[in-house]
Amino acid sequence: MTWTRREFLAASGVMSTYPLLGGCGDSGMTRYEEAVAALREELPAEPALRDFVRYATLAPNSHNTQPWEFRLGADRVEILPDLARNCPVVDPDDHHVFVSLGCAAENLLVAANARNRAGEAVVNLDGTSATARITLGNGAGIDRELCDAIPRRQSTRSEYDGQPVSREELAALESAATMPGVNTFFITDRGKMDGVLDYVIEGNSAQIDDPAFVEELKNWIRFNPEAAVETNDGLFAACSGNPTLPTWLGRFMFDRFFTRDAENDKYAKQVRSSAGIVIFVAEKEDQEGWINVGRSFQRFALQATALEIRHAHLNMPIEVAHIRPEFARWMGIPGRRPDLIIRFGKAPPLPMSLRRPVKEVIAPIEDVITA
Ligand SMILES: Cc1cc2nc3c(=O)[nH]c(=O)nc-3n(C[C@H](O)[C@H](O)[C@H](O)COP(=O)(O)O)c2cc1C
């Protein structure tokens, strides 16, 4: 949901009376920005495991639910899914949960590597769920540029500048995303990007016509900085370029303005202003494959950030079950499952999102890894 100028001005009129309506305005935003900055403090020269976990949590994750828990051992970190934080409507088989775990695992590996603790990740099965177990070593730091990008990476849900990226930049993005077990499909041809857009519009229309999808999304939106800081999770309105409002008014405006036509229009402009689209497809359609997709996507996202290239998700065609196989046929990979659809291009940044503090995502002391 990005509001039109007229809607924004109307809302701004209401915002000028915001303190009277129960929000605390500027001081809320100051607290928000302080929390954002504290989460993104530079890693110390010799980080403790908790510092690496902080960087891991800066990973992208579906609806910013942060569906993970970290178990610490001597030189190990295990990342487990927190299935109480899944989104059953948009993600009924927890696909996005495991992709998010992969993003966090890659952040942790990149951060450790950059501080001379190069390690490796192994996917384990814990009951019926996969976990990513990372063992840190003492290897040389080669990922500094990507590590510096971790606190600066964001999902930028705005229109981009409409310019292509250079051949060298594209090659760097392709190379960063290369990972065993994952195929990437880069599209920069305008006609083909319009082809993806057709499926985005079909998927988006189906989602907005589904009241359960809309309700789930609305429940994860934080309409003002106070609400965002209270939970440290969810989708803060300003991170999508929207004005901030008291929660009751935000929910009211959402019901009015979150419509099929407005959203489809917005996505058409966003796709047409982007330099390209990349689609990630796991070779194995299971939790391990999805974790690998998250790792590949995260390397892409960090490399893009290092090059000042923004990215945002267009996952609707892969989230709507009946559209996904059609979309795979259109891509020329019938029978396979495309996992993520990401647009990229250049644009100014938007506000950064929040995360829960490290102490809230670390498992209790009695739960440390001993095996
Ligand atoms: C598996 C996955 C699916 C996502 N799907 C969407 C999506 O459909 N639309 C969207 O705008 N963002 C999507 N996101 C981005 C998250 O909303 C975003 O990462 C989260 O809100 C945190 O914000 P940040 O990436 O700016 O740190 C997705 C992220 C992941 C990892």
Type of residue numbered 340: L
3-class secondary-structure state, position 252: helix
Beta-sheet pairing, 235-236 with 221-222: parallel
Protein residue with least CA distance to atom 5, ligand 1: 62
Q: Which of 153, 313, 340 to mutate to test ligand 1, by most ligand atoms within 8 A of the CB atom? A: 313
Is the minimum distance from the CB of 234 to ligand 1 under 6 angstroms?
no
**pLDDT by position in tens, the chain (length 371):** 555 544 544 444 444 444 444 444 578 899 999 999 999 999 999 999 999 999 999 999 999 999 999 999 999 999 999 999 999 999 999 999 999 999 999 999 999 999 999 999 999 988 889 999 999 998 877 789 999 999 999 999 999 999 999 999 999 999 999 999 999 999 999 999 999 999 999 999 999 999 999 999 999 999 999 999 999 999 999 999 999 999 999 999 999 999 999 999 999 999 999 999 999 999 999 999 999 999 999 999 999 999 999 999 999 999 999 999 999 999 999 999 999 999 999 999 999 999 999 999 999 765 666 55
Beta-sheet pairing, 118-126 with 129-139: antiparallel
Helical residues (DSSP H) of the chain, grouped into ranges = 5-15, 26-39, 49-57, 95-114, 144-149, 167-177, 190-208, 211-220, 225-231, 247-257, 260-272, 287-306, 316-319, 324-331, 358-361
Tokens of 108: 């942790």
* Tally of domains in the chain: 1
3-class secondary-structure state, position 33: helix
Q: Which of 1, 40, 63 to mutate to test ligand 1, by most ligand atoms within 8 A of the CB atom? A: 63
Protein residue with least CA distance to atom 19, ligand 1: 60
Contact (Cβ atoms closer than 8 angstroms) between residue 71 and residue 263: no
Q: What pLDDT does residue 273 have?
A: 98
Q: What pLDDT does residue 367 have?
A: 60
Tokens of 229: 């800081």
Q: What pLDDT does residue 126 have?
A: 80
Q: What pLDDT does residue 14 have?
A: 45
Domain that holds residue 249: 5-367
User: Given its phi and psi angles, is residue 66 left (phi above 0), alpha (psi -120 to 50 degrees) or beta?
Assistant: left
CA distance 251 to 81: 29
Protein residue with least CA distance to atom 17, ligand 1: 63
Tokens of 83: 């299935």
Is the minimum distance from the CB of 353 to ligand 1 under 6 angstroms?
yes
Tokens of 233: 């999770």
Indicate the DSSP class of residue 70. E
Q: What pLDDT does residue 370 have?
A: 57
Contact (Cβ atoms closer than 8 angstroms) between residue 117 and residue 136: yes
Domain with residue 153: its CATH number is 3.40.109.10
Protein residue with least CA distance to atom 11, ligand 1: 313
Q: What pLDDT does residue 25 have?
A: 59
Cα torsion 138, 144, 148, 150: sign: negative
Q: Which of 54, 155, 182, 242 to mutate to test ligand 1, by most ligand atoms within 8 A of the CB atom? A: 155
Type of residue numbered 206: A
Beta-bridged to residue 278, according to DSSP, are: 186, 342
Is the minimum distance from the CB of 31 to ligand 1 under 6 angstroms?
no
CA distance 132 to 70: 10
Protein residue with least CA distance to atom 31, ligand 1: 61
Residue appearing with tokens 């998010």 = 100
Q: What pLDDT does residue 368 have?
A: 62
Protein residue with least CA distance to atom 7, ligand 1: 313
Name 322's Cβ contacts closer than 8 Å, sequence gap at least 6: 206
3-class secondary-structure state, position 223: coil
Contact (Cβ atoms closer than 8 angstroms) between residue 284 and residue 251: no
Q: What pLDDT does residue 371 have?
A: 56
